[in-house]
Structure 1
Amino acid sequence: MMDFDELLDPEAWPYMKDPDDPLGHVWSSKFLEVFIEEAESTKGLNPRKTREPLATAKQMVPTVREILLRLDPELAKFRVGGWTGWDAAIDAAHEGIGRMRAKYEVEARMGPSLPTAGPEQWHPTVLGASRGLLNDGHFNQAVSDAAEQVVQTVRSRTGRTDLSSGTDVWRQAFSSQPAKPDSPRLRWPGNPADSNVRSMNEGLLHLAQGLQLTVRNAAAHPVTQLSRQGALERLAALSLLANLVERCDLVVADFAQGEVSQ
């Protein structure tokens, strides 16, 4: 069995770089196994013999929580301290190992599951604003903060800090009216006369305003609390919007040429 320091050293063993295990399930399973061994060693009656494994187990707890959060946030809610606490942590680690092994066994016999666009593929703006809140179970705030951050990037990009309403920010950014000296626009790249480009610009206006009203406002002023699944769906939609907006050109007014992309 490898020790704690070896598990954290990517040069110490090849599993950290295994191309057949891009999600790190092999390493995660090994880490949980070492944690279980250390946590079990804390149950001895001799304080001198349990002091070192107790210290090691405590140091491993943050990483164990992060691993279990990826599998199921409920597994990461264990508390440590005393015999009961370590038993709960050990049980959670065992279940985490079981889930990862089950995934490999099922895929080996039935083939890989359909690809998913999980949080790790979200736009950085959305992921950065929501990750911590999502992991802590604050689903409404995770969605609300992510939506606010997406709006803020557009507000900063267009210089429209005078607009407090997110809906107004989107309405002005994707307005079909020509850019003005104090009102730059966002435009989908391409020939403005092209029907596909016109469709994208109109669609982005409706998509952005629609998400502001149905996702951000509903999360910020909730009648009911979102479930984890509900939050993930809304955050994925915000990620799509953020990626599309990032591809748009910033168009400013130019007295000699009309509109100019920057």
Structure 2
Amino acid sequence: MRDAVEKFAATIHMIEQHEGSESEIGDALEELMTRAPLVETILESLEELPYKPDPSSWGGHPGQAYLGYRPYCMRAYGKLRDRQLIASIQSPGPSLSATRLHPWVWDSAGSLWNDGHHRQAVSAAAGVISAQTQALLGRDDVADQELMKEAVSLNEPTEGAARLRVAASMASRSGRALQQGALNLAQGVFGYIRNPATHETGEWDEQEALEKLATLSVLARMIEGGRGCSGPARHG
């Protein structure tokens, strides 16, 4: 379709600029007559055909009736060329609601966020996730990234070092893979998101900060949905 309207517009331009002999101009007008039904169908489908001329009532060559189509062909060409971009603008994807993030995240980040402190909001949310994980496992000896390394470890729990299990069973290969993925996520979030949020000084772009809050929300749901496993107590 794009080639058809582009060629039709080019033919009109050639005729209007007299780019050719009289015979070539005549052939071009005949070409317009031949191609007009197809081009009109394309223009109509793109809502770019405001009128249809009557070639039989035209004083000169009937093909001259279609010379006014050039601007509409150019608009149609643009629509066809950029149709994917146009569709993405006219039909935006789903939006992310910050207030529906995990409560650990939004309850701690909301007031800072609403005051425009996006980086600090992310830092606060990460801090609450760390504190909630400590409380869940009874671990106050480590925090933040080191806590995630210890808590979500694939190692068996020991006395004073409870683990968080997200896999239903560690006996299967898929269970261990799930636990490994959880460990990678937890450590990655604190290394890549929490640390810069806490130690940087500049403000963060709102969209990027919101995406980081969403990632923290994924982690919070994973932790809250896991189960704490304590190691055997040593007997003296």
| TM-score calculated relative to the size of structure 1 | 0.52
User: Of the candidates 92, 97, 115, which is equivalent to residue 136 of structure 1?
Assistant: 115
Higher relative contact order (CA 8 A, sep 6+): 2
After TM superposition, give the deviation of residue 112 of structure 1 in Å.
Answer: 7.6
> What 5-or-longer segments of structure 1 have no aligned partner?
1-109, 257-262
Q: Pick from 125, 137, 140: which aligns with 1:161? A: 140
Q: Does 1:117 align with 2:96?
A: yes
Correspondence for 2:199: 221
Equivalent-residue separation in structure 2 for 1:167 and 1:122 (angstroms): 21
Task: Decide whether the 8 Å contact of 2:159 with 2:233 is kept in 1.
Answer: no
Distance 1:199 1:179 in 2: 18
Q: Contact 1:189 / 1:247 at 8 angstroms: preserved in 2? A: no
More displaced, 217-226 or 110-119?
Answer: 110-119
**Separation in 1, partners of 2:233, 2:127:** 33
For 1:201, the aligned partner's letter is Q
TM-aligned CA deviation for residue 113 of structure 1: 5.0
* Mapped pair 1:187 → 2:165: yes
1:204 CA displacement:
1.1
Please give the per-residue CA displacement for 1:86-108, whole angstroms capped at 9, x wherever unaligned.
xxxxxxxxxxxxxxxxxxxxxxx
Query: Aligned-residue CA RMSD in angstroms?
Result: 2.1
Following TM superposition, the consecutive aligned residue runs of length 4 or more in structure 1 with deviations greater than 2 angstroms are 110-117
Whole-Å separation in 2 of the counterparts to 1:243 and 1:182: 24
Q: Which residue of structure 2 lines up, in the alignment, with residue 208 of structure 1?
A: 186
Matches of 1:117 and 1:137, distance apart in 2: 18
Shift of 1:223: 5.6
What is the CA distance between 1:196 and its match in structure 2? 2.4
- Name the aligned partner's letter for residue 129 of structure 2: V
Which has the higher Rg, Structure 1 or Structure 2? Answer: 2
| Aligned 1:92-107 pairs, distance under 5 A | none
- Residue from 216, 219, 222 that aligns with 1:244: 222
TM-score (norm 2): 0.57
Distance 2:125 2:134 in 1: 14
C-alpha offsets along residues 204-235 of structure 1, whole Å, 9 cap, x if unaligned? 11111111111111011116420111210110
Is the contact between residue 102 and residue 217 of structure 2 (CA under 8 Å) also seen in structure 1?
A: yes
Per mean C-alpha deviation after superposition, the further-off stretch among 221-230 and 184-193 is 221-230
Structure 1 residue aligned with 2:213: 235
Q: Distance in 2 between matches of 1:128 and 1:223?
A: 23
The structural deviation recorded for 1:255 is: 6.2
Q: Number of paired residues?
A: 146
Counterpart residue number, 1:77? none
**Alignment identity in percent?**
32
SS of the residue aligned with 2:230? Answer: strand
- Counterpart CA distance in 2 for 1:161 and 1:150 is 13
**Residue 162 of structure 1, CA deviation:** 1.6
Task: Tell me how far 1:190 sits from its aligned partner.
Answer: 1.3
2:127 corresponding residue in structure 1: 148
2:167·2:176 contact (CA, 8 Å) conserved in 1? no
Q: Deviations over 1:105-131 (max 9, x none)?
A: xxxxx9985333321220000010101
**Cα displacement (A) at 1:155:** 0.9
Select the residue among 106, 129, 147 that pairs with 1:127: 106
Note closer, same or farther for the CA distance 1:138–1:174 as it changes in structure 2 (3 Å cut).
same
Query: What amino acid does structure 2 have at the position aligned with 1:132?
Result: S
1:237 Cα shift?
0.3
